[in-house]
């Protein structure tokens, strides 16, 4: 089996209990044997589909396959499923039409489920509870800024019936170690339990890589790329002149804080505070000054942009209040006494980590970068508590309190870094900026930007929209944030060029470094994952191969018909 060093990014996690140990279809005698070998630290399990990674896309893939009747095993490196929505702590970044269209039906059900969870279990004010489009945090970034634990509870409730019936086996705190690959087919994946140290071999006719960093791709010998392609390779105007595997977007270890007026929750001065306080990002075009500042590069114009920070106001007197940007709980939406103060999720330019990557480096270096990222967070928090300029002329907000309890960790940080860029498969079809970038596509077709539309794919398996939004990279490139067009997700981007029985389910599909910037957000990842699960279920039922579904017109028509019946939108409405 091919083998890869395991990386440890995780904060201190809460204890966990594994889900059901059995899979439907295994006889009673076999089941007893499975339990026995589990106690010995050795196990072999088989299902119809193995999904490595409990990311948002991984859970969507699992639900699609489970609805179709497949027996599924899902592994997850942390003890929380849901990826960027939960263990990474990030409220959903979504398109402007999300309340009515622009996502799958199941994603809209997830959003409604989160709102219903608040209405059933939280002491909302009558006014907030009655709001159809309830936004618990009233944050600026999303129409649904909420606490990670709520999304976790809703996702777990969606899986629970399948776990109870033993159709689904969920292996938390498990990491892929190696893969058995014969020719163009993946036969098995061996995983390690971070809890017991035991190993389990998972066999299936079908596999999905739903890890945040595309960890299964090198193990399974799937041809893949990482970092930035050159401008010449695809003709993308915003690609760099030279290809660079190390040119990857910054990751962020998010954290949550609330503010208690009149209280003093200042942390001890972090050991790396002086170095982070003095740190100036070395970027081109130039960053306007120190990272720990309220002035940073505007993502679109790259001109200096100065914001305010005031945890006691919705808006500041003179400018944008960054406290509200990813606020996940607004005290005014809840009955008096329910919350001591507003809660905000800190995922800002000021804690993007620019000093190194998590892929293309060894385990020790990746771990060092995550530890440094957490030190950056503590330094940012201490600066906000003690030195950040206030509108009233003062400095610091000592009432800011680190809320690790909301993130499920002892160190106060999210369980896993917020990943913006993954390894990506070399796909049958690669989405480029010329397909969906407004400026690039208009120039390619020789039409006005006001009339141009994204590439139409006859093999569409969904739709999405977000700006091409690349955060500063670890090799010194500043923001790339340019308009994109409402786009489709081509089935060809989910098909590796060679491997026949493995598909991606999140940011590891066939995009470029540039188009990853608009295909990486929550509803698009969910659509990609759900399409991947549906594709495997369809191929399993038809005794076909995923590549044949795309290349055979009758199969493709039947598959897309099934997607539409399942609540997928394959094309954007006419303007």
Q: Is the pLDDT of residue 33 over 50?
A: no
- 163, HSE (Cβ side, Cα atoms, 13 Å): 15
Size (the chain), residues: 575
φ, ψ for residue 240 (rounded to 5)?
Answer: -70, 165
Confidence (pLDDT) at 26: 31
Write out pLDDT tens, residues 339-373: 999 999 999 999 999 999 999 999 999 999 999 99
Asked if 441 and 454 count as a contact pair (C-beta separation under 8 A), the reply is yes
Pick the more confident residue, 124 or 42.
124
Q: Which two tokens stand for residue 298?
A: 């505007």
Residue from 54, 21, 35 nearest 158 by CA: 54
Residue 43 has a pLDDT of: 87
- Which one, of 66, 307, 287, 253, lies nearest residue 165 by Cα? 66
Q: Provide the pLDDT confidence category of residue 28 given band limits of 50, 70 and 90.
A: very low
Q: Are residues 276 and 206 in the same domain?
A: no
Q: How many whole angstroms separate alpha carbon 417 and alpha carbon 225?
A: 21
pLDDT band at 318 (very low <50, low <70, confident <90, very high): low
Cα–Cα distance list, 313 to 75, 146, 337, 400 (Å): 42, 19, 18, 14
433 shares its domain with 531 = yes
94 and 182 in a single domain? The answer is: yes
Q: How many CB atoms lie within 10 A of CB 180?
A: 16
Q: Which residue pairs from 329-336 have beta carbons closer than 8 angstroms and sit at least 24 positions apart in sequence?
A: 329/136, 329/137, 329/146, 329/147, 329/258, 330/136, 330/137, 330/138, 332/125, 333/124, 333/125, 333/128, 333/136, 333/137, 333/138, 334/122, 334/123, 334/124, 334/125, 334/128, 335/123, 335/124, 335/125
Based on the structure, what is the number of domains in the chain?
3
Is a pLDDT exceeding 50 seen at residue 6? no
Helical (H) or strand (E) element with 470:
strand 468-470
Tell me, yes or no, whether 170 and 307 share the same domain: no
Provide the percentage of residues in the chain whose pLDDT is more than 90.
91
Confidence of residue 575 (pLDDT cuts 50, 70, 90): low
Mean pLDDT confidence for 196-216: 97
286 shares a domain with 214 = no
Asked if pLDDT for residue 98 goes beyond 60, the answer is yes
Same domain (yes/no): 393, 455: no
Mean pLDDT of 560-575: 94
Same domain, 181 and 85: yes
Domain-located, residue 144: no
pLDDT confidence band for 21 (50 / 70 / 90): very low
**Nearest of 338, 150, 375, 370 to residue 258 by alpha carbon:** 338
Distance CA 171, CA 506 (A): 19
In tens, the pLDDT along 522-543 reads 999 999 999 999 999 999 999 9
Task: Establish if 241 belongs to a structural domain.
Answer: no
Residue 40 confidence (pLDDT) above 60: no
Question: In this predicted structure, what is the pLDDT of residue 15?
Answer: 31
CB neighbour burial string for 131-146, b if at least 16 within 10 angstroms, e if fewer: eeebbbbbbbbbbbbb
Using pLDDT thresholds of 50, 70 and 90, give the confidence band for residue 317: low
Same domain, residue pair 366 and 427: no
What is the pLDDT at residue 182?
A: 98
Look at residue 364 and tell me if it is in a domain: yes
What's the average model confidence in pLDDT over 326-335? 97
Chain centroid to CA 254: 12
> Given 385, 407, 429, which residue is the final one in a domain?
407
Lowest mean pLDDT among 15-24, 121-130, 564-573: 15-24
> What is the C-alpha to C-alpha distance for residues 393 and 403, in angstroms, rounded to an integer?
27
**Whether residue 42 has pLDDT greater than 90:** no
One domain, residues 400 and 434: no
| Whether residue 162 is found in the same domain as residue 305 | no
In a domain, 116, yes or no: no
Give yes or no for residue 475 having a pLDDT over 70.
yes
82, pLDDT greater than 50: yes
pLDDT by residue (tens digit) across 401-433?
999 999 999 999 999 999 999 999 999 999 999
Are 478 and 560 in the same domain? yes
Query: Which of 407, 438, 458 is where one domain is finished?
Result: 407
Q: Let me know if residue 121 belongs to a domain.
A: no
Specify which residues 168 forms β-bridges with: 72
Q: Which two tokens stand for residue 159?
A: 């899986």
Task: Report if residue 412 sits inside a domain.
Answer: no
Mean pLDDT of the chain: 93
Asked if the model's pLDDT at residue 29 lies above 50, the reply is no
Residue 13 pLDDT exceeds 50: no
Choice between 2 and 273, residue whose per-residue pLDDT is larger = 273
Q: Residue 2 belongs to what H/E stretch?
A: strand 2-3
Partner residues linked to 481 by β-bridges = 469
pLDDT band at 574 (very low <50, low <70, confident <90, very high): confident
Give the end of a domain, one of 200, 219, 238.
219
Instruction: Judge whether residue 24 has pLDDT over 60.
Output: no
Q: Does residue 540 form part of some domain? A: yes
The per-residue pLDDT for 31 is 33
Consecutive H or E run containing 279: none
What's 163's domain CATH number? 3.50.50.60
**Do 213 and 301 belong to one domain?**
no
Stretch among 279-283, 287-291, 316-320, 406-410 having the lowest mean pLDDT: 316-320
pLDDT for position 316: 60
Domain boundaries, position 361: 255-407
Residue 461 pLDDT: 99
What's the CA gap between 478 and 471, in Å, rounded? Answer: 7
The answer to whether residue 247 sits within a structural domain is: no
pLDDT of residue 314: 81
Please answer whether residues 516 and 507 qualify as being in contact, where contact means their C-beta atoms are separated by less than 8 angstroms. yes
Q: Are residues 32 and 23 in contact, defined by beta-carbon separation less than 8 angstroms?
A: no
Evaluate the CA torsion angle 439, 441, 447, 450 in order and state its sign.
negative
Q: How confident is the model at residue 99 (pLDDT cuts 50, 70, 90)?
A: very high
């Amino acid at each position: 089996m091919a083998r890869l060093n395991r990386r440890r990014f995780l904060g201190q996690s809460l204890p966990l209990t594994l889900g059901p140990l059995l899979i439907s279809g295994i006889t009673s005698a076999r089941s007893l044997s499975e339990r026995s070998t589990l106690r010995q630290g050795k196990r072999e399990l088989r299902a119809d589909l193995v999904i490595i990674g409990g990311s948002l896309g991984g859970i969507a893939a699992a639900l699609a396959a489970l609805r179709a009747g497949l027996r599924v095993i899902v592994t997850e490196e942390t003890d929380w499923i849901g990826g960027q929505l939960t263990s990474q702590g990030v409220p959903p970044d979504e398109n402007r039409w999300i309340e009515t269209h622009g996502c799958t039906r199941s994603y809209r059900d997830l959003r409604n489920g989160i709102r219903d969870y608040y209405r059933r279990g939280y002491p909302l004010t009558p006014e907030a509870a009655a709001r159809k489009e309830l936004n618990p945090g009233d944050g600026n970034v999303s129409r649904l800024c909420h606490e990670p634990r709520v999304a976790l509870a809703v996702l777990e409730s969606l899986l629970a019936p399948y776990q109870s019936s033993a159709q689904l086996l969920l292996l938390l705190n498990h990491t892929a170690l190696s893969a058995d690959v014969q020719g163009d087919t993946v036969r098995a994946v061996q995983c390690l339990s971070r809890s017991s140290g035991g190993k389990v071999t998972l066999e299936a006719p079908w596999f999905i890589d739903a890890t945040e960093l595309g960890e299964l791709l090198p193990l399974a010998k799937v041809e893949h790329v990482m970092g930035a392609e050159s401008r010449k390779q695809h003709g993308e105007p915003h690609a760099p002149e030279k290809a660079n595997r190390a040119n990857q977007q910054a990751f962020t270890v998010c954290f949550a804080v609330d503010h208690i007026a009149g209280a003093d929750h200042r942390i001890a001065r972090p050991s790396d505070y002086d170095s982070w306080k003095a740190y100036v990002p070395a970027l081109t075009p130039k960053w306007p000054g120190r990272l720990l500042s309220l002035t940073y590069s505007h993502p679109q114009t790259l001109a200096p942009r100065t914001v305010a920070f005031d945890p006691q106001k919705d808006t500041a007197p003179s400018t944008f209040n960054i406290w509200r940007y990813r606020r996940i709980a607004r005290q005014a939406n809840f009955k008096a006494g329910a919350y001591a103060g507003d809660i905000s999720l800190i995922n800002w330019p000021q804690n993007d980590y620019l000093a190194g990557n998590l892929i293309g480096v060894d385990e020790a270096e990746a771990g060092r970068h995550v530890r440094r990222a957490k030190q950056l967070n503590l330094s940012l928090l201490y600066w906000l508590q003690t030195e950040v300029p206030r509108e009233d002329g003062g400095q610091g907000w000592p009432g800011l309190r680190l809320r690790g309890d909301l993130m499920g960790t002892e160190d106060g940080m999210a369980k896993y870094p917020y990943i913006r860029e993954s390894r990506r498969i070399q796909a049958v079809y690669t989405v480029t900026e010329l397909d969906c970038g407004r400026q690039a596509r208009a120039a390619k077709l020789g039409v006005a930007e006001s009339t141009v539309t994204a590439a139409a794919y006859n093999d569409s398996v969904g739709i999405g929209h977000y700006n091409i939004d690349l955060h500063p990279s670890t090799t010194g490139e500043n923001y790339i944030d340019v308009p994109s067009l409402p786009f489709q997700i081509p089935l060809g981007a989910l098909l590796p060029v060679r491997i026949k029985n493995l598909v991606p389910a999140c940011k590891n599909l066939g995009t470029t470094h540039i188009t990853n910037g608009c295909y990486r957000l929550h509803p698009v990842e969910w659509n990609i994952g759900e399409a991947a699960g549906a594709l495997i279920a369809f191929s399993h039922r038809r005794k076909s191969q995923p590549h044949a579904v795309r290349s055979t017109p009758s199969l493709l028509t039947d598959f897309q018909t099934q997607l539409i019946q399942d609540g997928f939108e394959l094309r954007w409405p006419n303007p």
